[in-house]
Structures are given as structure tokens and as C-alpha cells.
Amino acid sequence: MVLAQRRSQSVAYLFLGPWLLGAIGLTVAPMVVSLYLSFTDYDLFNEPRWVGFGNYAKLFGDDPRYLHSVGVTLRYVAWSVPLKLVLALAVALLLNSLRGKGQAFFRSAFYAPSLLGASVGLALAWRAIFDTWVDTPDHALITIVLLSAWQFGAPMVIFLAGLQQIPRDLFDAAAVDGAGWWRRLWSITLPMLSPVLFFNLVLETIHAFQAFTQAFVVSGGRGGPADSTLFYTLYLYERGFTEFRMGYASAMAWVLLVAVAVITAVLFRTSRYWVFYGDER
């Protein structure tokens, strides 16, 4: 018995080996190197020079464009994530009310834009459509927010799956008691759907902080006009791959990682107050 267990474990490790090698070589090792580089002055052409916390000190004390990029990114996240989730939930509710083959067709139609992802072609088309807005500092960021919200297909499908898992008996009983559509939505649908809503909220928040392609293409790679679309990731790219300040860019990457981790932890911490699971009393 013991020999058989050891053999099965060996087979499991054998199959896990390529994944472990890939994770170490492509994820863990680069992260360790970037953490080291964040404490150095490195330009790709000369040996890294240790500067300690110099890069981090300059980020928050001597780089106005960095702080501006933080503000632009926070505004983008605060606008795009709620708008995208509201649209996804609204369309999911509409599709859930449909019956028959029509649901499959409309579900595919609404999901189609999400298949394009953050493609360059889509961003170019969006720039052509909103050409006038893109060149206006007050409206440029709005165009990218609308582009993100338009691709609500992925959270919509997840919402739709969650809606279909809610027992119909709850709605029938509420209807017998005289509860209207809004009351059923507020008292049954949203509480029962809260785990799915929380899942989508966490994923979309993380994705929003990582947004890059849309801002790069729409702004022509400059974050303009007047730095109105200077996303954090775009500024990181500019520092690292245009100015070749890889140490500084690594410090920015680690600050972003820590910030996203903290925000995610806060979301998980606060979820106990509004996320309802079926096995809870």
C-alpha cells in the first residue's frame, strides 16, 4: 500500500514538474530579480548600482507625474468597475428573463465584444469613433472608461450563471406575498447573488489596475492629451522601456503589486458585511 502511494505521488510530481519549472522560471525568478532591481539604479546597459530606498523615496516625494498617474488610474478604476458591473448585471437580468433559444443568441451577441479583449485593433477603432473626445483632456479618460464598460461580457456570463442557480421557489413565494419586482431584486436576487458579485468585483478591480493597451493606443503611447490618460501601467512602461530606468520601473511595479494586494484584502475583509452564502443562517 505504501509503495503504491509513493508511486502515485511520484507520477503526480512528474506531471507537475513542467508547471513548477515554468512557475519558477517565468514567475518567481523574475519577481525576485525585479524586487532586487527596485533597490538599484539600472538602465539595461550598465551594472545595477545599489541605491536602497532611493527609487521609492523619489516616487512619493519627487515625481509629480507619478502621483498624477496614480490619480488617473484611481479615477479610471472608480468609474469603470462599477459601470461595467452594473451593465453586466442589468443585461444578465434581462437575459435571465428570456426563455427558449433567444437567450443563447443574445448571450453570445453580448459576450462577443469581450472576446476581443484589450486588442490593439479594437482600441484603434475606438479612437477613430471618439476622435474628437480623445483629443480633449476633459473627455479622453471617459472614452477609455466607456471602452472598458462596453466589454462587460465576461462578468455578464458569470452573473447569468449565478442567477440561474437561485431557486425559483423564493421568487414565487415573494410574489404570492405581494412583493414587486424591485422588492424581489433587493431582498432575494442581490443577497443570493452577492458571492458572484463579490467575485466579479475583485476580478474587475484587479484587471482595471492592470489596464494598459487601451490607454496606450488611444493616447498614442503618450498618456495625453495633457497626461489625462497617463495610466500607472503606461507611466511604468515609459520609465522602463522608453527611458530605460528599469530600477525605477521595478519599484513602481512592486508598489502596484502591494497596493492591489491591500485593496483586495480590504474587499475580502469587508465582504463579511454584505456577502451572503447559502449555508449561513
pLDDT, the chain, mean: 85
Asked whether residue 66 falls in the same domain as residue 169, the answer is yes
Asked whether residue 187 falls in the same domain as residue 72, the answer is yes
Classify residue 113: in a domain, yes or no: yes
Cα–Cα distance between 57 and 59 in angstroms, integer?
5
Asked whether residue 159 falls in the same domain as residue 202, the answer is yes
Residue 2 scores a pLDDT above 60: no
Considering only CA atoms, which of 211, 261, 248 is closest in space to residue 60? 248
Query: What DSSP element (H or E) covers 84?
Result: helix 64-96
Under 8 Å CB-to-CB from 60, ≥6 apart: which residues? 66, 67
For the chain, give the percent of residues with pLDDT over 90.
41
Asked whether residue 165 falls in the same domain as residue 30, the answer is no
Asked whether residue 64 falls in the same domain as residue 25, the answer is no
Tell me which of 203 and 216 has the higher pLDDT. 203
Q: How many domains does the chain have?
A: 2
Asked whether residue 33 falls in the same domain as residue 77, the answer is no
For the chain, give the percent of residues with pLDDT over 70.
91
- Contact between 110 and 91 under an 8 Å Cβ cutoff? The reply is yes
Classify residue 48: in a domain, yes or no: no
Mean pLDDT of all residues in 43-50: 89
Asked whether residue 59 falls in the same domain as residue 32, the answer is no
Classify residue 43: in a domain, yes or no: no
Asked whether residue 180 falls in the same domain as residue 251, the answer is yes
| Bridge partner residues of 40 (DSSP) | 50
Amino acid making up residue 130: F
Asked whether residue 60 falls in the same domain as residue 27, the answer is no
User: What proportions of the chain, in percent to the nearest 5, are helix, strand and coil?
Assistant: 75, 0, 20
Classify residue 72: in a domain, yes or no: yes
Mean pLDDT of all residues in 232-255: 93
Q: 123 pLDDT band (50/70/90 cuts)?
A: confident
Q: 119 pLDDT band (50/70/90 cuts)?
A: low
Asked whether residue 149 falls in the same domain as residue 246, the answer is yes
Residue 226 scores a pLDDT above 90: no
Under 8 Å CB-to-CB from 149, ≥6 apart: which residues? 80, 83, 84, 87
φ, ψ dihedrals at 41, nearest 5°? -105, 110
φ, ψ dihedrals at 274, nearest 5°? -140, -5
- Contact between 193 and 156 under an 8 Å Cβ cutoff? The reply is no
Asked whether residue 23 falls in the same domain as residue 158, the answer is no
Residue 122 scores a pLDDT above 80: no
Under 8 Å CB-to-CB from 193, ≥6 apart: which residues? 89, 159, 162, 163, 166
Residue 280 scores a pLDDT above 70: no
Q: 261 pLDDT band (50/70/90 cuts)?
A: very high
Classify residue 91: in a domain, yes or no: yes
Classify residue 281: in a domain, yes or no: no
Residue 279 scores a pLDDT above 70: no
Indicate which CATH number applies to the domain containing 163: 1.10.3720.10
- Contact between 235 and 252 under an 8 Å Cβ cutoff? The reply is yes
Asked whether residue 85 falls in the same domain as residue 181, the answer is yes
The range of the structural domain enclosing residue 26 comes to 2-37
Cα–Cα distance between 237 and 61 in angstroms, integer?
20
